Amino acid sequence: MRQEVEDFLSGPSSETYLALRRLVLSSANYRPDLDFVDQLWKALDAGDLARADDLSPRLIPTYLLNPRAHLGLAYLHGRKGDERGEQFEFYFCQQVRKFLLESGDGSRERPYQVTSVDEVHYIAGALEAKVKQVSCEWVGGRFHDVLLTDRGDLYFDTCVALAAYA
């Protein structure tokens, strides 16, 4: 996976992003039912850097493509005075954010392609859409999340995440 990460960061493109996504989803350790990103941010908010440090390696592989995970790691590095690590994670965050937001348009026909529920809410936040209701729907036999928002319905393909719940 290290080579694919290097390929993506040195040449961010749909191809290198999707190659990384395929690796994440095919990993035996892909566990989107474990909310480590939330736990990381709770630790950071509480100023518990030791706990945040403990959680960091557990974000991989599941949350490798999650912008909020990389933002949290950037914040953690910054708090520890590691400027290089902070810059690296911030760059990683920007790149995965770009391709995540370009993975769909939120319509029923072109849902966002996410690897976790956390990314569903990240996208809604990035679009500044106020979530009124959460629901789910089958589209062509595939499981989708539907957020009812003040900007209309937003669709997310969460089929792979749901299938991976242990």
Partner 1 sequence: MTPAYLLSFRILPRLLTSDPARTRKALLEEGLLRKLWIHASLHLGTQLPEPAPRLETFGEVVLITMPPPLEPPEAYFLAVIGEEPKVYTLELGKDFSSDEPCTYFCGATLEGHHNYGKGCIPEAGAFLAALAGIR
- Applying CB under 8 A, the residues found at the interface with partner 1 are 32-33, 35, 38, 116-118, 120-121, 133-139, 141, 145-146, 158, 162-163, 165
**Which residue in 89, 94, 86 sits closest to 70, CA to CA?**
89
In the complex, the smallest distance separating the C-beta of residue 88 from partner 1, rounded to whole angstroms, is 28
Nearest residue (CB) to partner 1, 43 versus 95: 43
Nearest residue (CB) to partner 1, 77 versus 121: 121
Going 20 to 143 to 62 to 117, the CA torsion angle's sign is positive
Backbone angles phi, psi at 49, to 5 degrees: -70, -30
In the complex, the smallest distance separating the C-beta of residue 82 from partner 1, rounded to whole angstroms, is 28
CA–CA gap between residue 10 and residue 102 (Å, rounded): 19
Nearest residue (CB) to partner 1, 97 versus 121: 121
Token pair belonging to 14 = 């749909």
